[in-house]
Amino acid sequence: MLAADTNVWTRAFLNDEPAQARKARAALAEARSAGGVFVPLLVLAELSWVLRSRWDRGKVLDTIEGLLQTRSVTVESAPVAWKALEASRKGAAGFADHLIAEISFGSGAGEVITFDTAFGRVPGVRRLK
């Protein structure tokens, strides 16, 4: 199994550097057919931030969902990622925020604090004023 850095996924999805995008897509396709691709949660969070700077929220969430459903792609703690995805589809906070909350609560945190207004509306998250 191979793991790919955020910049590889970013190039593959955004095609903003065509030569690198071709290399990224080829490497990911080869890895998927030769043992699979591992996606750490940190890469999902970073990817959501980068894609959000170029795409609307719905397209970003659809892309993350696509990764979670792609054969030969293994997402770290996939149930946590699915929960974050579902929560971000329902609320105003972003995917990365919900991922932070799900990881934190799953690791025993009783509360998450933030300065972010939208994230502060998530149950169990308190906005510092």
Give yes or no for a contact between 113 and 128, defined as CB atoms under 8 angstroms apart.
yes
Q: What's the pLDDT score for residue 68? A: 98
pTM: 0.94
Residues 6 or more apart whose Cβ sits within 8 Å of residue 88: 61, 94, 95, 97, 98
Q: How confident is the model at residue 16 (pLDDT cuts 50, 70, 90)?
A: very high
- The residue-averaged pLDDT of 94-113 equals 97
Q: What's the pLDDT score for residue 54? A: 97
Q: How confident is the model at residue 30 (pLDDT cuts 50, 70, 90)?
A: very high
